[in-house]
Amino acid sequence: MSKENNRDLLEKLLLEAIHLRDWHNRQLRYFIYGRIATFLFSAGFAVIAFSVSTVWWIPFVICMILFIVLVAYNEKLKARQKLNFAYIESVEAELSASGGNYRCFDGSPDFSDPAHPFATDLDIFGEHSVFQLVNRCTTHAGKRMLARWLLKPLLEKDEILNRQEAVDELSRLAEWRLRFRALGLVADEQKQDIENLLSWLHTKPEFDKPVFRLAIALIPLLSITSVVTLAAGLISIQVFMIFLLLPLIVTGFYTRLISARHAMLSRKVELLEKYAARFSMIEDADLKSAFFTGIASKLKTTGNKASEQISRLGRITASLDTRLNILAGLALNFLLLWDIRQMIRLEKWQQSHSTDFPVWFGVLADAEALSGLASFAFVNPDFIFPEINGEKLAIQATGAGHPLIPSSLRVNNVISVAGEGSFNIITGANMAGKSTYLRTIGVNLVLALAGAPVCAESFSCYPAGLFTSLRTTDSLSASQSYFYAELLRLKEIIDRLNRGEALYVYLDEILKGTNSADKQSGSKALLTQLIGLNASGCIATHDLELGTLAQAFPGHVVNYSFEAEIAGDELHFDYKLKPGIARNMNATFLMKKMGITL
């Protein structure tokens, strides 16, 4: 589908959701009036029943039942309204993204790591980042999974193609993705929520002993017997108090332990319901791709669906939450030894599903990451899925642009990296586009090896690791100079190549912390080593002397350039890659423009 068709679909879905929101608002107003009316009628019938005739208790009971039904249905309607609001938020965010505005989505700067081989150089995380382009996750596990997909490129062709297939298939299911994200937004997961659930899963069972099973069988019999015999006048109130205190003493003895376990689960009923609904969506999705069916199958390994079991955990947790009401807690513990009964149910669930639980939430993380890539593909239908070739360390592309640059400003170029031991030297003036070009290659390669579409008319690449040195900085805390920090980064590249890794290497203005003579001899030595170790990539520089390296490495080094054109008092860039060494520089021109005397 075209971008216009996709926007039309989103606008249609938004209009439908707004109509539903208005319907919800009208219905909730009616329920308010209904609750007020039934409550007033109940009060009126009660007064009449007390003052006139007991027959009026019948309409009183009918009105109270109706009031309770209206309250219950009102809560369900408010839950649907909340989901509808989240759905509208999801659609509006995708509409913004289709227009090139991704600020609605989290860039997760906390994942950034300056020591990573390419994350900082390629703006993978943070505001206006690659992660922000593809992130639709609402769980912390989902964000971590998506970050892992971007930081650790796939190196097997079949794995990449399987993920591509799943992304492409899911990109066609806009309504599924929007509802899936809306459920996550409504759940409003906090970081400690899953941590608490996992902590509870690893606690030692304390209520699986026969004595507790015997107690929950006998205590209700004793309690009900005591109530009946007291009502019949067969026992005194003093004897009844003994029966009353017995179950409360038993429960009270374990109150601290129960409270500690309950704190890990307390008030998570709504969250668990939303998890169950999301698991159900994954289980029931009509998707055929091998990747998606593979992760979905993990939700049914125990013979029961994950959605059903998570829903069951929510119901047990809701039952235990009853203890938060003091009066209800006392009554239920007296009659049914309620707290211990629910702890036994929880521990049975825990023992049955403690190993399944992390697997299920791993599936949810995979589904969220996949949905993010699919949404990115949906809002960029002009992007293409790359071919994965068998020619080692070769990249070929036409019409390749940087996905972080708006399409109205983006200038596309060709990419041609010939294979092992091949390097392109990119020369050009300041601000001519060299660094952006290197990032264009790197970012599209990261997307390609994550299974996502790339910003290009055609793109083929060999799956291999990526290492960049584009933004090396000094470190005062580590007492490192800029030059030393750069050398450490270059050493890491060499070390990985010496270990036999296949690497794409992209360097910008290497060895700029030293003088020109050192820089040229050092650059030549480094390039010799990189070629000898069968690396491949690009080196950008404004030092035209480095362009002569093509003569020293015929068949391995190719020169390309970005030119600056000075016309009168104006400087022009076309940002188009050209063959050969750059001819025009602009440093002195820019200094004069700034009023700096030369």
**pLDDT higher than 80, residue 384:** yes
- Contacts of residue 360, Cβ cutoff 8 Å, sequence gap at least 6: 279, 298, 299, 306, 310
**pLDDT higher than 60, residue 473:** no
pLDDT for the residue numbered 54 = 77
Question: Distance between CA 476 and CA 73 in Å, rounded?
Answer: 62
* Alpha-carbon distance values, 249 to 208, 218, 237 (Å): 19, 15, 18
**Which of 141-152 are b and which e, b meaning 16 or more Cβ less than 10 Å from the residue's Cβ?**
bbbebbbebbbe
pTM of the model: 0.89
**pLDDT higher than 60, residue 588:** no
Side-chain half-sphere exposure of 393, counting CA atoms within 13 A: 25
**pLDDT higher than 60, residue 598:** no
Name the amino acid, one letter, at 12.
Answer: K
Spatial contact of 579 and 572, defined as CB atoms under 8 Å apart: no
Structure tokens at 343: 């702890």
**pLDDT higher than 70, residue 568:** no
**pLDDT higher than 70, residue 349:** yes
pLDDT for the residue numbered 594 = 47
Within the chain, how many helices (H) and strands (E) appear?
21, 12
Q: Give the model confidence (pLDDT) of 78-129 as tens digits.
A: 989 999 999 999 999 999 999 999 999 999 999 999 889 999 999 999 999 9
DSSP state of 563: -
Q: Does 158 or 327 have the greater pLDDT score?
A: 158
pLDDT for the residue numbered 477 = 38
Delimit the domains of the chain by residue range: 3-99, 185-368, 387-593
Which pairing describes strands 458-461 and 423-428: parallel, antiparallel, or unpaired? unpaired
Q: Give the model confidence (pLDDT) of 430-468 as tens digits.
A: 788 899 999 999 999 999 999 999 999 999 999 999 999
Residues 461-478: what's their mean pLDDT?
Answer: 73
Q: Give the model confidence (pLDDT) of 355-365 as tens digits.
A: 899 999 999 99
**pLDDT higher than 60, residue 470:** yes
Backbone angles phi, psi at 432, to 5 degrees: -80, -15
**Which of 48-59 are b and which e, b meaning 16 or more Cβ less than 10 Å from the residue's Cβ?**
bbeeeeeebeeb
Question: Distance between CA 539 and CA 415 in Å, rounded?
Answer: 13
Q: Does 174 or 322 have the greater pLDDT score?
A: 174
Structure tokens at 204: 């030692």
Of 155, 162, 153, give the one whose Cα is nearest residue 450: 153
Three-class SS of residue 478? coil
**Angle, in degrees to the nearest 10, between helices 174-187 and 3-51:** 50
Question: Distance between CA 461 and CA 447 in Å, rounded?
Answer: 11
Question: Distance between CA 123 and CA 121 in Å, rounded?
Answer: 6
Question: Distance between CA 97 and CA 378 in Å, rounded?
Answer: 10
Spatial contact of 500 and 357, defined as CB atoms under 8 Å apart: no
- Contacts of residue 106, Cβ cutoff 8 Å, sequence gap at least 6: 131, 132, 135, 137, 143
Question: Distance between CA 416 and CA 400 in Å, rounded?
Answer: 11
Name the amino acid, one letter, at 93.
Answer: A
Least confident of 20-34, 261-275, 392-406, 473-487: 473-487
Which residues partner with 397 through β-bridges? Answer: 415, 459
pLDDT for the residue numbered 590 = 47
**pLDDT higher than 70, residue 479:** no
Residues 25-53: what's their mean pLDDT?
Answer: 87
**Angle, in degrees to the nearest 10, between helices 140-151 and 191-201:** 100
Q: Give the model confidence (pLDDT) of 200-242 as tens digits.
A: 988 898 998 888 888 888 888 888 888 888 778 888 888 877 7
pLDDT for the residue numbered 228 = 83
| First-last CA distance in the chain | 56
Residue pointed to by tokens 């010496």: 498
**pLDDT higher than 90, residue 173:** yes
Residue pointed to by tokens 């070739």: 389
- Average pLDDT of the chain, as a whole number: 88
**pLDDT higher than 50, residue 584:** yes
- Contacts of residue 245, Cβ cutoff 8 Å, sequence gap at least 6: none
Least confident of 80-84, 149-153, 250-254, 473-477: 473-477
pLDDT for the residue numbered 56 = 84
pLDDT for the residue numbered 148 = 97
Spatial contact of 149 and 122, defined as CB atoms under 8 Å apart: no
387-593 under CATH 1.10.10.10, yes or no: no
pLDDT for the residue numbered 586 = 52
Question: Distance between CA 458 and CA 598 in Å, rounded?
Answer: 46
pLDDT band for position 472 (cuts 50, 70, 90): low
pLDDT for the residue numbered 461 = 97
Three-class SS of residue 125? coil
Least confident of 81-95, 127-141, 506-520: 506-520
DSSP state of 475: B
- Contacts of residue 371, Cβ cutoff 8 Å, sequence gap at least 6: 136, 170, 177, 180, 181
Question: Distance between CA 28 and CA 199 in Å, rounded?
Answer: 39
CB count in 10 Å sphere of residue 368? 23
Residues 310-323: what's their mean pLDDT?
Answer: 90
pLDDT for the residue numbered 475 = 42
Structure tokens at 518: 């050192």
**Cα angle 211, 216, 217; round to 5:** 95
pLDDT band for position 512 (cuts 50, 70, 90): low
Name the amino acid, one letter, at 285.
Answer: A
Residues 131-143: what's their mean pLDDT?
Answer: 96
Question: Distance between CA 108 and CA 85 in Å, rounded?
Answer: 24
Kindly compute the dihedral angle of the four CA atoms of residues 350, 354, 360, 366, in this order, to the nearest 10 degrees.
140
Residues 536-542: what's their mean pLDDT?
Answer: 91
**pLDDT higher than 80, residue 517:** no
Decide: residue 474, CB within 10 A, 0-12 exposed, 13-18 middle, 19+ buried: middle
**pLDDT higher than 80, residue 526:** yes
pLDDT for the residue numbered 572 = 77
pLDDT for the residue numbered 58 = 86
The total number of residues written for the chain in this structure: 598
**pLDDT higher than 80, residue 569:** no
Question: Distance between CA 173 and CA 161 in Å, rounded?
Answer: 19
